[in-house]
Amino acid sequence: MNFKNLRESSPIQQLSLLGLAVVFGVFTTSCNPDETQVVANFTSTITLQEEFDVDLNDSIWGYEEGTGTDGWGNNELQHYTKRADNVVIEDGMLKITAIKESYEGAEYTSARVLTKGKFEQQYGRVEARIKLPSGKGLWPAFWMLGSNYDVVGWPQCGEIDIMENKGSEPTIVAGSLHGPGYSGGNPVTKQFQLTDNRFDSDFHIFGIEWTKDYVNHYVDGVLYNHITRDDVPGEWVFDQPFYIILNLAVGGNFDGAPTDATVFPNHMLVDYIRVYAAK
């Protein structure tokens, strides 16, 4: 079953249609684990519904600020802040803005919000509706880290990249898993490309369905990446709660530095995040 035709529907329509699809899914999933597989099996129990209609809920969300170590491990160029210039709820959306400005020794500012220690979940479905920025050197990401990050460190804690994008490639996103032996520049990853649209022109839905056996990545209801325990060339570290991170990095190892043609300020708009339990 292919959900491409759902793109123009309202979120409510999408949910009800997804519900319908599940009925079909029962018959098709087991025998057809390819790109046309139903992706939304977990729809009944919503565990986090963040619509970003009012101020960022500090019982769910926190901020990471500063430049981390070595640009958050990736030679990123931005200084993260929690100023409204960089992160704000506006028009029912979370708006993260990358700005070119001198700020405490950095050339750029931006923001990273996360649910660490506040909302963490093991397995289920995690999706967000996001309009990405674009331009060389911008690196928007919607991802998760294992809750034992502070104890065992990275990559032992595991990393699930639900969506990351190189600003220089406005039609391509990637979904990846990082763990011990498959991290950094060598994750288990796959790209998804739009052929008739761009990720900075419209909102798109990015999600995963995650069980003890696999992680599925989807965009707008199209499953494009199915990673099982057997697919990772090392230890499977995804049987524990993970927390959610949304950020817009500037520069770094993924897409390189911005150029004069990169537009600043530039925004990542998140319409919602919805998380469902795995049942």
Partner 1 sequence: MKKINFKTQVAFAFVGFLALALVSCERGFSDEITLATYPETPEVFTDFPVGLTDAFFVSFDPAGGANVNGFGTDENEAYKGNSSIRIDVPDSGDPEGNYIGGIFLDRGNGRDLTNYDALTFWAKGAITAEVGLFGFGTDFQGDKYAVGLNNIALSTDWKQYTIPIPDPTKLVQEKGMFIFAAGTASTNGLGYTFWIDEIKFEKLGTIGQVRNSIFSGEDVSMSSFNDAIIQITGISQTRNLGDGTDVTVDIAAGYLDYESSDLTVAKVNELGQITIVGAGNAVITASAYGIETAGSLTLTSLGDFTLPTAPTHAAADVISIFSDVYTNVNIDFYNGYWEPWQTTTSNDFDINGDNILSYDSFNFVGHQFSDPTVDASDMTHFHMDVYIPGTLAAGAKLKVTIKDFGANNEDGGGDDTTQTFTISGADLSGDAWSSIDVALSLSSKTRVGQFVFENDGSDLTKLYMDNVYFYKQ
Interface with partner 1 by CB under 8 A: which residues? 134-136, 166-171, 194-198, 200-201, 261, 263
CA torsion through residues 35, 37, 41, 43, sign: positive
Angle in degrees, CA 238, 123, 203, rounded to 5: 105
Q: Of 83 and 100, which CB lies nearer to partner 1 in the complex structure?
A: 100
Q: How many angstroms separate the CA atoms of 146 and 271, rounded?
A: 24
For the bound state, the minimum distance from the C-beta of residue 255 to partner 1, rounded and expressed in Å, comes to 10
For the bound state, the minimum distance from the C-beta of residue 88 to partner 1, rounded and expressed in Å, comes to 21
Reported as half-sphere exposure (CB side, CA atoms, 13 A), residue 71 has a value of 21
For the bound state, the minimum distance from the C-beta of residue 256 to partner 1, rounded and expressed in Å, comes to 12
Q: Of 2 and 197, which CB lies nearer to partner 1 in the complex structure?
A: 197
User: Which candidate, 201, 127, 204, places its Cα nearest to that of 170?
Assistant: 201
Q: Of 222 and 275, which CB lies nearer to partner 1 in the complex structure?
A: 222
User: Active site residue: 50, 159, 209, 235, which one?
Assistant: 159
As to burial, measured by CB atoms within 10 angstroms (0-12 exposed, 13-18 middle, 19+ buried), residue 266 is buried
Q: Which two tokens stand for residue 165?
A: 């994008």
Q: What are the Cα distances from residue 222, in Å, to 60, 131, 198?
A: 29, 17, 15
Q: Of 171 and 228, which CB lies nearer to partner 1 in the complex structure?
A: 171
Q: Of 32 and 193, which CB lies nearer to partner 1 in the complex structure?
A: 193
Bridge partners for 120 per DSSP: 243
Name every residue whose Cβ is closer than 8 Å to that of residue 187 and which is 6 or more positions away in sequence: 159, 161, 176, 177, 178
Q: Are 211 and 218 in contact (CB under 8 A)?
A: no
Largest CA distance in the chain: 57
For the bound state, the minimum distance from the C-beta of residue 195 to partner 1, rounded and expressed in Å, comes to 8
User: Active site residue: 50, 164, 169, 235, which one?
Assistant: 164
Q: Which two tokens stand for residue 210?
A: 């995650």
Active site residue 159: yes
Q: How many angstroms separate the CA atoms of 152 and 6, rounded?
A: 41
Active site residue 164: yes
Q: Of 86 and 266, which CB lies nearer to partner 1 in the complex structure?
A: 266
Catalytic residues: 159, 164
